[in-house]
Structure 1
Amino acid sequence: MIFKKRTFFGKDPERLPAEHPAELERRVAHWLAVSPGLDAIDITVTCTGNTVVLGGTVATKEEIARAEEAARSVEGVADVINGIEISKVGRG
């Protein structure tokens, strides 16, 4: 497998400062995506300053708790507002 250097229109991609809300969103979303025991496909991440707002749906209450724990563990996160709900899909 060959890996190419990432470029954007032939230039290196711009990196935002660590304290920028968009960079914090990116880091939290990445951490949710790689957290074991959590299907984060339907979770949204929004940041206002260093406060993270989680939304969307997951399958279990345990996943809601895991998502909040994962978000709180990211460096730079001061507070987490957890608005994740349990998905109603598949219930009779």
Structure 2
Amino acid sequence: MVFKKRTFFGGDPERLPAEDPAELERRVAHCLAVAPGLDAIEVTVTGSGSTILLAGTVATEEEIARAEEAARSVEGVAEVVNRIELAKVGRG
């Protein structure tokens, strides 16, 4: 197997510094995506400085707590505003 150097249209891909809000959002979103016992498909992550806003819906109260805990565990996050709500099931 041969590994090639990563490029973006022939040039090196842009690397964002860790303190960049978009990079912090990406790291928190990744952490939520891989957190055990959490289905975060309907959760959005928005960053402003070192503050992260979580919004959207999950199935249980436990998932709301897990999402906040996962977001707080990411290096660089100073504050988490948790606006995640329980999904309404059986609407009709």
Q: Alpha-carbon deviations, 1:30-88, whole Å to 9, x = none?
A: 00000000001110000110000000000000000000000000000000000000000
Q: One-letter code of the match for 1:22? A: A
SS in 2 for 1:85: strand
Residue segments in structure 2 that go unaligned for 5+ positions in a row: none
Shift in Å, 1:13: 1.5
Matched with 1:70 is 70
Query: Distance between the aligned counterparts of 2:60 and 2:91, measured in 1?
Result: 12
Q: Map 1:1-92; keep pairs closer than 5 Å.
A: 5-90=5-90
Change in Cα spacing, 1:6 to 1:81, as seen in structure 2 (3 Å) is same
Query: Distance between the aligned counterparts of 2:3 and 2:57, measured in 1?
Result: 34
Change in Cα spacing, 1:2 to 1:31, as seen in structure 2 (3 Å) is farther
Shift in Å, 1:6: 3.7
SS in 2 for 1:54: strand
Query: Distance between the aligned counterparts of 1:6 and 1:86, measured in 2?
Result: 41
Shift in Å, 1:5: 4.6
Q: Alpha-carbon deviations, 1:2-40, whole Å to 9, x = none?
A: 866543212222111000100000000000000000001
Count the aligned residue pairs.
Answer: 92
Larger Rg: 2
Residue segments in structure 1 that go unaligned for 5+ positions in a row: none
Alignment RMSD: 1.8
